[in-house]
Structure 1
Amino acid sequence: MLSPPSHYGMTVLNRDAFTSTFQTLALRVPSKNVTSIQKALSRDVLNLSRIRTIVPDPESNETRVLLLRHDLKDVSDLAPGSTKLIEEQELSVIQHSIDLDYSFWTTEQILHAVIPDTIQDIPCAYTQVGHIAHMNLREVFYPWKQLIGQVILDKNKNITSVVNKLNSIDTTFRFFQMEVLAGDTNMVTEVKESGCKFRFDFSKVYWNSRLHTEHDRLIKLFKKDQTVCDVFAGVGPFAIPAAKNGVIVYANDLNPESYDWLKVNKSHNKIPDSKLKPYNMDGRDFIQQAVQTLANANGGDSWKTFDHFVMNLPDTAIEFLDAFRDLYQDQKVLYESLCPAPKLPMVHCHCFTRSDDPAQDIAQRVEQVIGSVYDASTSNLHWVRNVAPRKDMYCISFYLTPEMIFGPTR
């Protein structure tokens, strides 16, 4: 394998330092025969990505230079059939120099050349959010962080900014502090997901492109003309596509920036007011107000509530389940007068767990907060993703029960 020159002391990128030259054996081949000879010698022809196997011959327009394996020291190392063909065709064996510069090497090769081998897991991976490459560098890589950012910027033409996460997600407004390692400082970006376009300031709101599968999974559960209450809506990854599909969505976020971008995305995707109603409130207050607003919109004399509640705030969403305690107590008589009893809403609550028994851990936490057990036979515990060693994200989906939502008069 070829590799660039090592520069373990380098922390400021010097692209000129990664120029190198290597020699390989080659054959001078008549231009008209070069394709057939290349095929016949396929086992011994140079096979390195991003290096051409056939190059012009500087000494003649009638011939081409066919490069041989770079590990060959002498033609005697060739396969017997190859040696015989070279002799029969009277092909000239020559030395050929290949000059490689910074543009040839991959991100991983450059970073391996500057970061000592004693440090494991060279950080080449990133999450792309529009024009932004988002990294989560370990502290051991901080001496090289600007260099890492610049190399990623150089090697990915659709990236114009490289940023590094500085702390954990703010649990109040759901965004993290970041630093720009290289490129543009403009953090307003646009992404496409679930058939919609989303614009937002990545430095002020929460967005995780790795959750697109989970977004799509829940969106597919919502049926046209159903009503969904999205308690922690962010910039709208659930709310916007659902509303575009004909679902009526009440969408809330405590972060004023998220609320503003939610409205931008509503307009950007041409969602009518009748399908998406944005709010900027505390989650508990929003649940209570949304339920009351929906009931009032229906006249208050017939049963009407949400089909789904979405609670995508995995750090703390379970703590907000107490908002459902006795939530419908003023509609208890109306509910009990109906036969058959109306279907109650389903709650989709995202959470983290480190337990070896996730199902038991999550069930206990949910039931402790909401004040009663849920029906395990109609619930669903869905694994979303691993976020850290021994830390997984799940979504518990369960129907609210009369015991949860009705209670004595306060």
Structure 2
Amino acid sequence: MIAPPVHRGMVELERSAFRKVINTLAVKVPVKQVGLAKKSFAEVMMDQPRLRNIEPDPSSKETKLVLLNLDFQKAEDLPKEKLELLKQYEWDLVQHDVELNYDFWTAEQIFHAVMPEDSTDIPASFTQVGHIAHMNLREHYYPWKRLIGQVILDKNKKITTVVNKTNNIDTTFRFFKMEILAGKDDMIAQVKESGCKFKFDFSKVYWNSRLHTEHDRLVQLFKPKEYVCDVFAGVGPFALPAAKKGSIVYANDLNPSSYEYMKENIAANKITSGIFPYNMDGRAFIRQAVKDLQATSANEWKTFDHFVMNLPATAIEFLDVFRGLYYDQKDLFNANPRAKLPMIHCHCFTKSTDALQDISERVGQIMGSKPDPSKSSVHWVRNVAPKKDMYCISFPLSSDIAFATIPVSNNSSEKRKLQDTEPSPRKVPKSPRTE
């Protein structure tokens, strides 16, 4: 592999410093004999990524140059049978210079050339969100952050803004604080996913393109006419595709920016019915949504088929709201032989080697009893850090929990009590009636 010139310690990008001239042997052949030459010298031809092994001959338009592997620096290095072929066809062996510049090298090669030789985690990867490259640089690479941003910008033509996360996720409104490393100060991203278009301010809302597969997986579980309650909906990556396929979705996010962009995305995707956006605290929303949906049915049991709780850092803590959630609707449930309770899909993190046991125990501590293992499943979503994985546990809400009369007091911390009473933007649509 050809490497670029080394410039350890460069922190301001100098593109001209990465010019390099490679000298190689080449077989000079008539244009009409290029195919024959390629076949005859196939095993000794240049085989370098992104480099052509057939070049124009600068001395004549009648001939081409077949470049040989860099292992061969002089005629004597060639196998005897190749030298005999040169004589047989009267082809000349010449020296040829290949000039490489900054445009030739990959971002990773540039970073290897400027960073300490013992660097093992070269930061060449990023997450793309529309026109934005989102990086998560380790602190020891901060001296090179502007250079890194510019190189990423140069090497990816669809990227016009490069940003770096500067802290952990905001626990209230679920977004990262970021700094722009290179490119335009334009944080309004537009993304296509699951057949829907999404627009949002990436600096004010949470979006993770790596969750595309998980969004699709759950949406495929929802059937047309089923009722879905999306508790932490963000700008709508679960809610909009589900509504488009015919599910009836109540979607909520506490972040006012997420709520506003979700409404904008609903309109942009021409979804005119079957989706109801809210802007509330998660627990308050669950209670309100259950009441609103039940209000659409006169005297018959009606509730959600699915609750989606995609807030992996803290979603499990919100499960206490389900204890006694349907206590005042028990008679309606018992009066309907076809009545059923919802499935809960709750995302979370775990470092345990036994994910099912760890997550089930944590769910049980919050709700008062563990989910039925014969009806529960734990789906691995992705690895987020060394020895830290994201999972989704899916389980049916049990009647013991749904109709319980006493909350689990030892699991309801003062912090969570305050969270329910804390002032926050609350925008609740009128009780919707289904068509």
TM-score, length of structure 1 as denominator length? 0.97
Does structure 1 residue 398 correspond to structure 2 residue 395? yes
Q: Is 2:326 aligned against 1:308?
A: no
Partner secondary structure for residue 386 of structure 1? strand
**Aligned mates of 2:332, 2:66 — CA distance in 1:** 86
The equivalent of 2:365 in structure 1 is: 368
Aligned to 1:229: 229
The residue aligned with 1:354 is 351
Matched residue type, 1:353: T
How far apart are the structure 1 equivalents of 2:275 and 2:28?
70
Number of residue pairs matched?
Answer: 407
Deviates more, 1:234-243 or 1:368-377: 368-377
Query: Does the Cα contact within 8 Å between 1:354 and 1:391 map onto a contact in 2?
Result: yes
Q: Judge conservation of contact 1:28–1:94 (CA < 8 Å) in 2.
A: yes
Structure 1 residue 409: Cα displacement: 8.2
Letter of the 2:230 counterpart:
D
Q: What's the secondary structure of 1:145's corresponding residue?
A: helix
> Residue 173 of structure 2 corresponds to which residue in structure 1?
173
Residue 332 (1) aligns with residue 330 (2): yes
* Structure 2 CA distance for aligned equivalents of residues 298 and 98 of structure 1: 76
The percentage of counterpart residues that share the same residue type is 60
Letter of the 1:269 partner, please give it: N
Q: Per-residue displacement from partner, 1:290-333 (whole Å, max 9, x unpaired)? A: 0000011112x100000000000011101101111111111112
Partner letter of residue 291 of structure 2? Q
Contact 1:231 1:287 in 2 (8 A): yes
* Residue type at the aligned position of 1:178: M
Instruction: Write the distance in 2 (CA, Å) between the matches of 1:40 and 1:380.
Output: 60
Q: Which amino acid aligns with 1:303?
A: W
The answer to whether the aligner puts 1:140 opposite 2:137 as a matched pair is no
Equivalent in the alignment of 2:382: 385
The CA distance in 2 between the partners of 1:61 and 1:362, in whole Å, is 71
Stretch of structure 1 that moved more, 93-102 or 370-379: 370-379
Offset, 1:7: 0.5
Rounded Cα–Cα distance in structure 1 between residues aligned with 2:333 and 2:63: 89
CA distances 1:253-307 after superposition (whole Å, capped 9, x unpaired): 00000001100110111111x31100000000000000000011112x1000000
Deviations along 1:225-278, one digit per CA (max 9) or x if unpaired, are 000000000000100000000000000000000001100110111111x31100
**2:117 is equivalent to residue 112 of structure 1:** no
Equivalent positions of 1:9-408 (< 5 A) are 9-272=9-272, 274-299=273-298, 301-339=299-337, 342-408=339-405
- Counterpart-to-counterpart distance in 2, 1:160 and 1:352: 33
Structure 2 counterpart of 1:46, which letter? M
Query: What secondary structure is seen at the aligned counterpart in 1 of 2:277?
Result: strand
When the two chains are superposed, the root-mean-square deviation of aligned CA atoms in Å is 1.3
Inter-CA distance 74–190: structure 2 relative to 1 (3 Å threshold): same
Query: Separation in 1 of the partners of 2:216 and 2:182?
Result: 32
Aligned 8 A contact 1:44 1:82 in 2: no
Task: Work out the CA distance in 2 between the residues paired with 1:64 and 1:149.
Answer: 40
Distance in 2, matches of 1:68 and 1:339, equals: 80
Given that residues 300 and 336 in structure 2 are in contact (C-alpha distance below 8 angstroms), is that contact kept between their aligned partners in structure 1? Answer: no
Does the C-alpha gap of structure 1 residues 408 and 69 become closer, same or farther in structure 2, counting only changes over 3 Å? closer
Question: Shift in Å at residue 373 of structure 1?
Answer: 3.0
Amino acid at match of 1:277: F
For 1:335, the aligned partner's letter is: F
Mind listing any 5+ residue stretches in structure 2 that lack a counterpart? 408-435
CA–CA distance in structure 2, aligned partners of residues 348 and 244 of structure 1: 20
Question: Structure 1, residues 30-79: CA drift from partner, whole Å, max 9, x if none?
Answer: 11112211211111111222222222222222222221112212222222
Give distance in 2, aligned partners of 1:42 and 1:129.
42
Q: How far does the alpha carbon of each residue in 1:73-121 deviate from its partner, in whole angstroms, 9 at most, with x for none?
A: 2222222321110011121111111111101111111111100112221
SS of 2:264 mapped into structure 1: helix
Q: CA deviation at 1:374?
A: 2.1
Normalising by structure 2, report the TM-score. 0.91
Contact 1:329 1:409 in 2 (8 A): no
Does the 8 Å CA contact 2:170/2:176 hold for their aligned counterparts? Answer: yes
What letter corresponds to residue 283 of structure 2 in structure 1?
R
